[in-house]
Amino acid sequence: MNGKHVSLNMNVRGLKPSATLAINERSNALRREGKTVYKLGLGQSPFPVPECVVNALRHHAHEKDYLPVKGLPELREAVADFHRRKDHINASADGVLIGPGSKELMFLLQLVYYGEILLPTPCWVSYGPQAKIIGRNVHLIHTTYEERWRISSARLRSYLEKENDTFRPRLLILNYPGNPDGESYTMEELQELAETAREYEVILLSDEIYGQLKHRGGHFSVGRFYPEGTIISSGLSKWCGAGGWRLGTFTFPKSLFWLLDAMAAVASETFTSVSAPIQYAAVPAFRGGPEIETYLSHARRILRLTGNRCADILKEAGIRVHSPDGAFYLFIDFEPMRDQLKARGIHDSRELCERLLLDTGVAILPGADFERPADELSARLAYVNFDGAEALAASREISLDQDLLDSFLDVHCPDTLEAMERIAAWVKRSTENA
Ligand code: GLU
pLDDT of residue 382: 98
Q: Whose CA is nearest to atom 1 of ligand 1?
A: 43
Query: Ligand 1 within 6 A of 246 CB?
Result: no
Distance 134 CA to ligand 1 centre (A): 20
For the chain, list the domains and their CATH numbers.
Answer: 19-48+291-433 (3.90.1150.10), 51-288 (3.40.640.10)
DSSP string, 172-189: EEEESS-TTT-----HHH
| CA nearest ligand 1 atom 8, residue | 20
Element (H, E) at 143: none
Distance 53 CA to ligand 1 centre (A): 22
Residues 346 and 352 sit within 8 Å (Cβ to Cβ) = yes
302-339 pLDDT, tens digit per residue, is 999 999 999 999 999 999 999 999 999 999 999 999 99
What does pTM read for this prediction?
Answer: 0.94
Tens-digit pLDDT profile for residues 151-185: 999 999 999 988 767 778 899 999 999 999 999 99
Query: Cα of 194 to ligand 1 centre, how many Å?
Result: 27
Q: Is the CB of 130 under 6 A from ligand 1?
A: no
Question: Among 137, 140, 148, 99, which residue's Cα sits nearest to residue 123?
Answer: 140
CA 394 vs. chain centroid, Å, equals 26
Q: How far apart are CA 185 and CA 188, in angstroms?
A: 8
Q: Supply the residue whose CA is at minimum distance from atom 4 of ligand 1.
A: 43
Residue type, 260: L
306 lines ligand 1 (CB under 6 A): no
Closest CA relative to residue 129, chosen from 151, 156, 110: 110
Q: Is 88 left (phi over 0), alpha (psi -120 to 50) or beta?
A: left
Q: Is 196 helix (H, G, I), strand (E, B) or coil?
A: helix
Closest residue to atom 5 of ligand 1, CA basis: 43
Query: Atom of ligand 1 at shortest distance to CA of 179?
Result: 4
CA dist., res. 213 & res. 374, Å (int): 30
* pLDDT for 2: 55
Please list the rounded mean pLDDT of every run of 10 residues in the chain (434 residues). Answer: 61 75 89 94 96 98 98 98 96 98 98 95 94 91 97 95 80 98 98 97 97 97 98 98 98 98 98 98 98 98 98 98 98 97 94 94 96 96 98 98 95 98 94 68
| Among candidate residues 241, 248, 251, 238, the one with its CA nearest the CA of residue 274 | 248
Sign of CA dihedral 119, 123, 125, 127: negative
CB atoms within 10 A of CB 232: 28
